[in-house]
Structure 1
Amino acid sequence: MAQSTWFDQHLLGCPIMAILRNFSVEESLELSHRAWDLGIEHVEVPIQNQQGLEALAAVVEAGNSRGKYVGAGTVDSSEKVFQAQEIGAVYTVAPGLDDEVIRASIRAELPHLPGVATASEIQGALRHGLTWMKAFPAHTLGPDWFSAMRGPFPQVNFVATGGLDATNVASYLKAGVRVAAVGSALQHQDQLSRLGALITAPANEN
């Protein structure tokens, strides 16, 4: 399966993703189930340290029991690609554009979301045949960046990551973002209903 085909099949129509960074194993499990119960289909667990690896393993196991896909984030080396593969993650996400990580993900047959923040990085990802990309940090780039990038790169599907919550997600989706990633927002009861409304709303008009 082509790298981006998996995302076409599984991320389209899923406007919200959960990213569980720097949570304990117990917290990661609790927030994963909260996300799934809310209707958030995809959970990413960054693996920048041993706690992240342990949390990913626990969330993957929980996801398997519920038929949910779990991805590995902060995959910034080929070693982490294969750690993610061993644990059972179904896709990898990087903070930046790294040819070595892309090639390792292809060898491991794991769909990959490279991190981009410039037109040059977008073009670099496209040269690898990747049309799904993580734009980071989204709160710094702002919704206007995504609107502007739709002009030269209409074929690119962006997952916006960094600084997003229920108060600003809608503006990014309106700007053309396919998926908006939230994390700590899942800890706040007042944000859950607003996120749920975005998930159950008609498909965002990009």
Structure 2
Amino acid sequence: MKRMEIIQQIAESGVVAVIRAESKEQGMKMIEAVKKGGIKALEITMTVPGAVDIIKELSEMYKDEDVIIGAGTVLDPETARACILAGAKYIVSPALNLETVKLCNRYRIAVMPGIMTVTEALTAFEAGVEIAKVFPGNAYGPSIIKAFKGPIPQGNFMPTGGVNLANAAEWIKAGAVAIGTGGDLTSGAKTGDYALVTETAKKFVEAVKNARA
């Protein structure tokens, strides 16, 4: 699948599930539960034990399905390359590292670096980034999207951090192209309630759909 197709699918689905788990087993259960809930973009963070191996396994497992496996919490180009070789279709970073962006451009892989200022956003877009990750979102609130879009109306922004069911629609209405959510989505996994994770995923998908309508 080509880079722009990945970007388009993420934008169309509107929700990226950020998977942070304490073990590979828990991570795999989270992923299956989120997928059942209708979220197609799965971001496996590098904080999960064996994350690169999980990405490789999932990329093979879902190669014929409408699921997009990506890597998150990628801090440097070396890690990005390992994830890409394992099959990651997109790379997400908590901060703007231009060497990581450059490497992803080299491999024609979608990259979504974290930004906090208009300067960082412009730098990211000028480097070829299609979607900038507003992180941490809870440091701003949804109004920051409208503020960014004042001087950069062509920019695509995805908030992550503090995005929950109570404010998901507000972020979309403020102009976010998609939202990234982790702890609020997968909180049921802490008690082994993966049915709750699936139900929460469904609610996030519905919230985005209704906000766009």
**What TM bracket, shorter-length normalisation?**
0.7 to 0.9
What does residue 117 of structure 1 align with?
116
Shift of 1:49: 6.2
Quote the Cα distance in structure 2 between the aligned partners of 1:18 and 1:99.
24
Preserved CA contact (<8 Å) 1:18 1:42: yes
1:142 CA drift (Å)? 0.9
1:114/1:148 CA distance change after superposition, 3 Å: same
What pairs up with 1:41-120 in 2 under 5 angstroms?
A: 41-48=40-47, 50-64=49-63, 66-120=65-119
Q: Deviations over 1:68-94 (max 9, x none)?
A: 110111121111111111211011111
1:51-82 per-residue CA deviation (whole Å, 9 max, x = no partner) reads 32233333333332534110111121111111
Partner residue, 1:137:
136
1:168 and 2:176 aligned: no
Shift of 1:203: 6.6
Give the residue type in structure 2 aligned to 1:15: G
Aligned Cα root-mean-square deviation (Å):
2.3
| % identical equivalent positions | 26
Q: Would you say 1:35 and 2:34 are equivalent positions?
A: yes
1:204 paired to 2:212: yes
- Following TM superposition, by how much is the alpha carbon of 1:24 offset from its aligned partner in structure 2, in angstroms? 1.8
**1:141-165 superposed Cα distances (whole Å, 9 cap, x missing partner):** 2111111111111111111111222
Candidates 179, 191, 198, aligned match of 2:200: 191
Q: How big is the shift at 1:2?
A: 9.0
Alpha carbons of 1:141 and 1:110: their partners in 2 closer, same or farther (altered >3 Å)? same
Could you list the per-position Cα deviations for residues 158-186 of structure 1 after superposition, in whole angstroms to 9, with x for gaps in the alignment?
11111222222111111111111112323
How many residue pairs match? The answer is 203
- Report if aligned partners of 1:20, 1:44 keep a CA contact under 8 Å in 2: yes
Query: TM-score, structure 1 length as denominator?
Result: 0.87
Amino acid at match of 2:149: R
Amino acid at match of 1:174: K
In structure 1, stretches of 5+ residues that fail to align are: none
Residues 169 and 23 from structure 1, CA distance in 2 versus in 1: closer, same or farther, beyond 3 angstroms? farther
Which amino acid counterpart does residue 73 of structure 1 have in structure 2? G
Q: Work out whether residues 15 and 180 of structure 2, in 8 Å CA contact, stay in contact via their aligned partners in 1.
A: yes
Structure 2: runs of 5 or more not aligned: 189-195
Write out per-residue CA displacement over residues 108-147 of structure 1, whole angstroms, 9 at most, x where no aligned residue: 2211111111001011012112231111001112111111
